[in-house]
Amino acid sequence: MPFAHCLFAEPLASYLELSAADCKLVEEAASRNVKMIGPRRDLVSEGDPPDSVKVVLEGWVARYKQLRNGRRQILSLLIPGDISDSNVFVLDKMDHSLGSLTPVRYTEIGQAEFEALAASSPRIGKALWWRELVEISIQREWTTNIGQRNAYERIAHLLCETYWRMQVRGLAHGNTCDCPLTQTDIADATGLTPVHVNRTLQHLRGDGLVELRAKRLRITDPKGLQAAGMFSPSYLHPAAPPVAA
Amino acid sequence: MPFAHCLFAEPLASYLELSAADCKLVEEAASRNVKMIGPRRDLVSEGDPPDSVKVVLEGWVARYKQLRNGRRQILSLLIPGDISDSNVFVLDKMDHSLGSLTPVRYTEIGQAEFEALAASSPRIGKALWWRELVEISIQREWTTNIGQRNAYERIAHLLCETYWRMQVRGLAHGNTCDCPLTQTDIADATGLTPVHVNRTLQHLRGDGLVELRAKRLRITDPKGLQAAGMFSPSYLHPAAPPVAA
DNA sequence: CGAAGGATTGATTAGTCTCAACGCAAGTGG
DNA sequence: CCACTTGCGTTGAGACTAATCAATCCTTCG
C-alpha cells in the first residue's frame, strides 16, 4: 500500500535513512489494521486504557482535553503521517482524547506489534524516539505560543506551523493547503474565543498575510506571516525543505 | 551514593519494580559525572548541540524559552530526581534552555552511556519511556492551564502540581515544601505579569488556600486549592500516595 | 551600611471576553 | 424543488481581566 508507505514510513525514513527492509516493516505494520471513522468523533476518549498506537493515514485528528467547566483545549493536531504517542501502553489510562476533525482513515498498531517493530531495528527504534521528541518540542512551542503571544501572533504562528508541517509532508500546493479547522477549533487551540478569532483572522486577512476559507489555507505573504507569528521552524527539527517564500 | 539512588533510581523503581541489579546500574550511571552550578545560570542553552542527559540531584531547574521581544516562557520545572529529555541526542540542537533556579547538583550522562543503560534491561528502557510520557503529559496540562484557566486558577494549579510532585519524591513535610520560585518565575510559567501574580497570590492567601513566603510553600487548604486549580493528579500518572488532606 | 533583588501598591489602559443577534451556505425532508 | 434546519462565520456594545507604568517598601547579603 504505497499510501501508507508514503505517509508513515517516509517521514521516518527521511530523517534516518531507513533501509528498504526497515521501510517494509514499517509499511506493513501501518497497513495491517486500517480503520475509518466519521468527522467529529472520538478515536480514543479520556479514561480509556491505551491499547494501541494510532497512525493517521488520511484526514485530521485533534488531541484535546475537555474541562469540567465546558471549555476545551486542543493540545495538538495530527495530520496524515502522524502517530499518536509511541508506547502509550506504559500508562494506565488516557488523560486526554483524540477526536477526528474530518473523516479519518487510520491504522491501529497493538502493543506486541508495536514493540516488535520498535525492536526490529535500531534505526526504527531511534526514529520513533525522534518522532516523540519532536512531538514534545511542538507541545512546548504551543505552551509558549499561548503563554507569551497575543491573539494576532498566536494565530499567525499556528497557521505557519500548520502550513509548514503540511508542506513537509508534501500536502501543500504552492502557498495553499487543506485546513479543516473551524474558527472554534482555532479558538480551542489558541486559548481564545471564537469571536475574537474571527476578528483576528479578519485583521490578518486585511494585512494581506493569510486567507482561510472553505477549509483551505492560503498564505498570501509567507515572510510576513512568519514575522507576525515569530515563527522559526527549528523546533520542528525538520530534515526538510524551506517553506516556499 | 544513596542520595542519587534515592532520587533517580527510586522514582523509576517505584513504578516498574526494577530489580536490585537494575537499580545498581541506574544508580551508578547517575553518580559517575556529578557537577555543581550556581543559581540563575544555564546548564544548557538554546542552540547547543545536545550531548548529554541531565539528572537533577539537588536544587531546581527551569526549562525555558527566551523570545526575541524579551519575554520568556518557563516550560517546566525540574525538581530533584527529574531527568532532562531521554535521548535528546537524536535532535540536532536544543530549541530551549535549561537554567538553574537555585544552586544545583546534577549528573550528566553521555550518549553512549545512556544508550547502554536504556538497553541494559527491558525494564529500564520501559521506565525511561514512562518518564518521557509523563513529561509530555505534564506539558499538555501546562498548555491547558495557560490556555483555559484564569490567573487565580492557573496559579492554584501550578502550586498544586508542584507540591504534589515534591511530596511524591518525599520532599514535602506535612503541608509544606521548598519552593524557590520568585513571583517573576511564576509569572513566566503561567503567562502572566509579575504584578498580577502578586495580586493573585494575595487573593489566594486571603482565601486561606496557600502561603508562599521565604522560598517555602505551605498549603493551608489542600482540598480548596485543588478545587480552585481544577487539579486532578491523574495526568501525573503516579504510582504514588495521595496528597495529605 | 549600602546595594540589589524581590514584593507590594496605585492609577490607568489595552486586550480579550461575554452576550446577543444576524447572515450565509449547505444539507435535509416533505 | 422549496422550506426548514443546522453549523459556521460575522457584527456590535459593554464588561472585566490582566497589562502597563511607576513608585515605594522590605529583605537579604556583601
Q: What is the mean pLDDT of residues A205-220?
A: 95
Instruction: Check whether residue A131 and residue A189 sit in a common domain.
Output: no
- Domain assignment present for residue B242? The answer is no
Instruction: Check whether residue A17 and residue A67 sit in a common domain.
Output: yes
Instruction: Check whether residue B114 and residue B163 sit in a common domain.
Output: no
Residues 6+ apart with CB under 8 A from A160: A219, A225, A226, A229, A231
pTM for the full predicted model: 0.93
pLDDT recorded at residue B27: 78
Instruction: Check whether residue A18 and residue A128 sit in a common domain.
Output: yes
pLDDT recorded at residue B244: 39
Instruction: Check whether residue B107 and residue B28 sit in a common domain.
Output: yes
Residues 6+ apart with CB under 8 A from A173: none
- A60-104 pLDDT, tens digit per residue, is 999 999 998 889 999 999 999 999 989 999 899 999 999 999 999
CATH code for the domain in which residue B174 is found? 1.10.10.10
Instruction: Check whether residue B30 and residue B127 sit in a common domain.
Output: yes
Instruction: Check whether residue B166 and residue B66 sit in a common domain.
Output: no
CATH code for the domain in which residue A95 is found? 2.60.120.10
- A102-157 pLDDT, tens digit per residue, is 999 999 999 999 999 888 888 888 888 989 999 999 999 999 999 999 999 999 99
D17 C1': nearest CA residue: B150
pLDDT recorded at residue A239: 57
Instruction: Check whether residue A155 and residue A132 sit in a common domain.
Output: no
CB contact under 8 A, A90 and B133: yes
User: Which of B236, B71, B106, B75 lies closest to B166 in space, CA to CA?
Assistant: B236
The domain containing residue B174 runs over which residues? 150-229
Provide the sign of the torsion angle of the four alpha carbons A130, A132, A135, A137, taken in this order. Answer: negative
For residue A12, name the pLDDT band (cuts at 50, 70, 90). low
Count Cα atoms within 13 angstroms, Cβ side, for B63: 24
Nucleotides of C under 7 A from a protein CB: 5-11, 15-20
pLDDT recorded at residue A242: 38
Nearest to B92 among A96, A144, A237 (CB): A237
pLDDT recorded at residue B1: 37
Q: How many domains does chain B have?
A: 2
pLDDT recorded at residue A46: 96
CB contact under 8 A, A190 and B147: yes
pLDDT recorded at residue A229: 97
- Domain assignment present for residue A222? The answer is yes
Residues 6+ apart with CB under 8 A from B12: B18, B26, B124, B127, B128, B130, B131
Q: What is the mean pLDDT of residues B221-240?
A: 90
- B148-158 pLDDT, tens digit per residue, is 999 999 999 99
Instruction: Check whether residue B125 and residue B163 sit in a common domain.
Output: no
Instruction: Check whether residue A134 and residue A158 sit in a common domain.
Output: no
pLDDT recorded at residue B16: 55
Instruction: Check whether residue A66 and residue A99 sit in a common domain.
Output: yes
Determine the Cα–Cα distance for residues A95 and B233; give it in Å rounded to an integer.
10
- Domain assignment present for residue B240? The answer is no
Structural contact between residues B46 and B98, judged by C-beta atoms closer than 8 angstroms:
no
Residues 6+ apart with CB under 8 A from A194: A183, A184, A187
Instruction: Check whether residue A161 and residue A111 sit in a common domain.
Output: no
pLDDT recorded at residue A9: 62
- A101-115 pLDDT, tens digit per residue, is 999 999 999 999 999
Is a pLDDT exceeding 80 seen at residue A51?
Answer: yes
pLDDT recorded at residue A8: 63
- B42-66 pLDDT, tens digit per residue, is 999 999 999 999 999 999 999 999 9
CB contact under 8 A, A191 and B146: yes
